[in-house]
Structure 1
Amino acid sequence: MVKHHATRFAIGFTGVIALLVAGPTAAYAAPGNDDFTVATVIGEIPYSTTVDTSGATSDPTDPTGCANNGSVWFRYTPTSNTRLRVDTFGSDYDTVLSAWSGEQGSLTQLGCNDDTNGTQSQISFTGTAGTTYYFMVGICCGDGSAGGGSLRFTIDEFQTAANDSFANALPVGALPYSNLQDLATATTEDGEPSSCFTAPHTVWYSYTPTTSGSVMASTNPTDPGIAIYTGSSLSSLSEVACRRQFTYSPVTFQVQAGTTYLFRVGANRASKVTFWLQYPPGPTVDFSFNERAPNSFDTVYFWASAKDPAGKEIDSYTWDFGDGTTSTTAYASHRFTSDGDYTVQLTARTVDGRAATASRVIAVRTHDVSIVRMTVPSTTRVGQTVGVTVNVQNTRYEETVEVRLHRSGPSGYQYLGEVTQLVPMKEQGKTTPFSFTYTVTPDDQAAERSPSWRWPSLSRTGTRSWQTTS
């Protein structure tokens, strides 16, 4: 049939009317296997063919349990029991593939798949000798008006993964354990649970621990789903834990000695996957604090940092400050009441009981360095060089001390110089002198008084500083 688009008129701003008429559009012929009754018969496998499905239609008798828009049909009867894999890889449009058994009008769906490989589809199942299987390929996600295209249809038999079924779950030995499987050879079986994810490619593992505790299951790549069960058959499984596809974090759970755990690992895409089962490591723990050189008068603030690589939450924190005191908050504060070297420990514990500890040695030193006396002349004259002595007392630790001397004038304080020297620890009342010289100026005479001395500033080299002024 020749189709014409409707005539359209466009009126331009000059008042000219333009008449646009589309030319005839070629109609596509329906492919030879457009209906169930004319399904392409497949004699031997492996089999592969390319079909132009641009003119494919939907027959009223086509089943509706999977996309049937613009559908074409194939059929195959195996002569022996075998594993069959059917796909549309290489097609140039978005396909939906389904498999059926039975008679027209009462077909039983064996599988329906879309987007196993980008926009193409794949189904795998066990074929029984003498049973005829029907395969329908439809157009994805529309009403079929967009048409099909070049369909590449392939069917082949293959050997499944050794642990493809629940009954053939691969036993896990001593931990840590790892195993690589190609999910392209994996299928699902009738009655397989869905748990928190469904996938057309699944494999099974079993593990019976000899001791109770925590174990961690993970995969590489990280996107497959992992479901853990107990039970002796598919129909009696009880779920222990489950990770959805594309969740990425490992699954950590408690096991009981002597109990068998079943692991179902699955993905939408057929790819190689490594399954790991191991004892989970402890959390990573560290902490920081604000005072790098605290004294016995300082309050030291502590911040905990902890993370569990096994994906569990940190349940508790315990601080031991090394002086007989503790705390159980993530962010703690503490004052060490006497000098000493204290080993501070932080222990973080996960909800399943795994723990790790970080420790630091904090040196607490209280420095007692002070200016106790300054000796200056009582009378002076212009041009006279006088001496100024600053007496520093140190009662705790040997210190390197710097003293800076200033004098006051009309424009503020004037810097005169500085002296740095080692000040040993001395008994109370004994001091170390710091000596300065100063030459009296006419400005001092104009002030009609001796210079007004500012008590010098005092600092302990490399640490803190003190300042005392008169």
Structure 2
Amino acid sequence: MRTTAFRRLLVAGLAVAAALVAPATAQADTPANDDFDTATTVTALPFRATQDFGEGTKAADDPTSCYAWIATSAWYDYTASADGFVRALPTGAGQLPFIAVYTGSRGALSQVPGACAEWNSGPSVTFPVTAGQTYHIMVFKPYAGAGQVATLDLSNVPREANDDFAAAAVATLPGTFSGDLSRSTSEPGEVTASCDPEADHSVWYRYTPDRTRPISVERRGGRTPSVAVYRGPELSEVDCAGELDGTKRVVFTAEAGRQYWLRVATDADGASPYDIRLTTAPALTPNVYLYSGVNSVFDDIQMFPNAGDHLGRPLVSGELKFGDGTSVALTSNAALTHRYAADGDYRLEISATTDDGRSGTGSQVVHVETHDVALTGLSLPAQARAGQTKPVKVSVVNNRYDEKVVVSLRKKGESGYFEEVGTLTQFVPAGGRVEFPFAYSYTPADAAAGQAEFEVTATLEGRYDGDAHPVDNRLTGVTKVRAS
């Protein structure tokens, strides 16, 4: 049985808080069914009883397996005359009492799986009964106090018509189907879902498509049930989405004329009303997300293939053609890289298949444009004296597109960092080579150091992405400097 620790803590905390703030009241006479041994006997259904459920007391051995603090309890005993389902429903004004159902004897009680209604699950409980078995129904409150009058109704409720595989309801497309898993069971030997093997409250639907198409099954409920689809006649599982799979939808390709069975199920704790909806699954629109906005021949372009599925099913196979005569097989949506040898527009073509068998294709264009200049020369005097001004020449080569190039001349200062001493901006045509002329006056500090160390860098004016290959955009050189 699965339980929620957080719910248990929340319920206990709220109940204790309620007990602390509840006003003191004079103790009234306890009801006759205040104790397990004096439970009211229910001889036939339907049954109705109205009483003040806040007047009673709590016995030291009252069970607390329904995740709630108990301040008062009242007991009812019902021996089932036939197999079936019973609903216990409290009604009235204000905070309704909670309900838990047990079998066994005092000191050795076992809660009927799922037969517990408290803060989060709603006031009513529906539970399966077996002929001849006695069920002990505890109606309880988390805090005491007279004036908490409520009515308890016990009644037989029918089991779901499609509880058994042989009585599977017919599903249509599109269609929405509802039911209550608390009024269902599982048959001996019934198949279980790979995604939720503990789910033992189930109902069945059967669907025979008139043409081949992809089907999506959306599921909703108080606690989302699992849905498993089986293909006939061998009942092989096609797809499955369990309670812990969140909003995942069952998706499968239904072949025309073949029969399919849908099993909607949960465990006893999660048994509650549900809805499922069958629709045609959307087509895939495969695409590739490119990490870089500006791509060059120097870039290993990151690409993220995507099946483009609105239902979020994963890509499991496919192919990505890069548009330059090369391609790669896809087995997932894992990132990959590709480098192009030349500038141009390349058509990416992607084919993708998801794990449910749907396939699709898509295409898009990736633009490759390389902006790159190179520093090919730094001409410095080998020697100089303090006070002399001598030329410094920088050569820039551009083999691609017309560019405006900014060249900065820097000299290493006493701090050990290069400090700018001049900047020039010039137009460098594609295929051209341009000299950038500088002049520098050597200082006594240079002479004291014995040399002047220079650095030149080149950048592209007006391009936020910069030079595509900056490793050739820096040169250094040294001039020996003497005092006289």
Letter in 2 for 1:122: T
> What's the counterpart of residue 43 of structure 2?
41
Q: In the alignment, is residue 349 of structure 1 matched against residue 348 of structure 2?
A: no
Structure 2 residue 426 is the aligned partner of structure 1 residue 421: yes
Alignment partner, residue 8 of structure 2: none
The amino acid across from 1:278 in the alignment is: T
Instruction: Summarize deviations over 1:310-363 as a string: whole Å, max 9, x none.
Output: 575532353322211112264544332222233445544324433455745141
Q: 1:258: which partner in 2?
A: 257
Aligned to 2:180: 183
8 Å contact kept, 1:373–1:390: yes
Per the TM alignment, residue 219 of structure 1 is displaced from its structure 2 partner at its CA by 0.6
Closer/same/farther in 2, CA of residues 394 and 225 from structure 1, 3 Å limit: closer
Change (3 A) 1:48 1:199: farther
CA distance in 2, matches of 1:362, 1:375: 40
One-letter amino acid of the structure 1 residue matched with residue 426 of structure 2: Q
Deviations 1:41-96 (A, max 9, x none): 33x735447799999x9xxxxxxxxxxxxx97446879xxx986343767767422
The structure-2 alpha-carbon separation of the partners of 1:48 and 1:136, relative to structure 1 and needing over 3 Å to count, comes to farther
For 1:224 and 1:166, locate their aligned partners in 2 and report how far apart those are by CA, in whole Å.
17
Q: 1:395 aligns with which of 389, 395, 399?
A: 399
Paired with 1:274 and 1:212, the residues of 2 have a C-alpha distance of 24
* Letter of the structure 2 residue corresponding to residue 341 of structure 1: D
Residue of structure 2 equivalent to 1:327: 328
Instruction: Supply the distance in 2 between the matched residues of 1:283 and 1:238 (Cα, whole angstroms).
Output: 29
% identical aligned pairs: 24
Q: Go from structure 1 to structure 2 and tell me whether the alpha carbon gap of 1:376 and 1:354 turns closer, same or farther (over 3 Å shift).
A: same
User: Are the structure 2 counterparts of residues 391 and 320 from structure 1 closer, same or farther at C-alpha, using a change threshold of 3 Å?
Assistant: same
Say which one has the larger Rg.
Answer: 1
Matched to 1:265, the amino acid is: V
Match of 1:31 in 2: 38
The offset of 1:401, in angstroms, is: 0.6
Matches of 1:302 and 1:380, distance apart in 2: 57
| Structure 2 match to 1:340 | 344
Separation in 2, partners of 1:337, 1:238: 49
1:37-186 correspondence runs (5 A): 40-42=42-44, 45=46, 47-48=48-49, 73-74=77-78, 85-87=86-88, 94-96=100-102, 113-118=112-117, 121-123=125-127, 134=132, 136-138=134-136, 154-157=153-156, 169-175=168-174, 177-179=175-177, 181-183=178-180, 186=183
In structure 1, C-alpha distance between the alignment counterparts of 2:244 and 2:411, rounded to whole Å: 74
1:287, 1:302 within 8 Å by CA — same for their partners in 2?
yes
Q: Is the 2:378–2:395 Cα contact (8 Å) retained in structure 1?
A: yes
1:467 aligns with 2:443: no
Q: Deviations over 1:115-168 (max 9, x none)?
A: 333478533689xxxxxx65612489xxxxxxxxxx986432557767666676
Letter in 1 for 2:399: T
Cα distance change of structure 1 residues 355 and 374 upon mapping to structure 2, 3 Å threshold: farther
Distance 1:154 1:402, change over 3 A: same
Distance between the aligned counterparts of 2:265 and 2:189, measured in 1?
11
Q: In structure 2, how many angstroms separate the alpha carbons of the residues matched to 1:418 and 1:434? A: 9
Bigger Cα displacement from structure 2, 195-204 vs 457-466: 195-204
Matched AA of 1:195? T
Return the structure number with greater relative CO, CA threshold 8 A, min gap 6. Answer: 2
Give the residue type in structure 2 aligned to 1:342: Y
Contact 2:127 2:182 in 1 (8 A): no
* 1:361 maps to 2:370: no
Native 8 Å contact 1:86 1:153 kept in 2:
no
- Which amino acid is 2:261 matched to? L
The answer to whether the 8 A contact 2:239-2:356 is kept is no
Instruction: Give, as a single letter, the amino acid of the residue that structure 2 aligns with 1:398.
Output: D
Q: TM-score, normalised by structure 2?
A: 0.59
The Cα shift of 1:417 comes to 0.8
Identify if the C-alpha distance between structure 1 residues 237 and 186 changes in structure 2 by more than 3 Å, giving closer, same or farther: farther
Deviation at 1:398, TM superposition (A): 0.7
Whether the aligned pair in 2 keeps the contact of 1:404 and 1:458 (CA below 8 Å) is yes
Q: Which residue of 1 aligns with 2:210?
A: 210
Q: Which is worse superposed, 360-369 or 278-287? A: 278-287
Q: Which 5+ residue runs of structure 2 have no aligned equivalent?
A: 1-33, 62-74, 91-95, 105-110, 119-123, 139-149, 478-484
Matched, 1:404 2:408: yes
Distance in 1, matches of 2:312 and 2:409, equals: 61
- Consecutive unaligned residues of structure 1, counting only runs of 5 or more, are 1-26, 34-38, 58-70, 99-111, 127-132, 141-150
Aligned AA (1:256): E
The residue matched to 1:117 in structure 2 has which SS? Answer: strand
Q: TM-score, normalised by structure 1?
A: 0.60
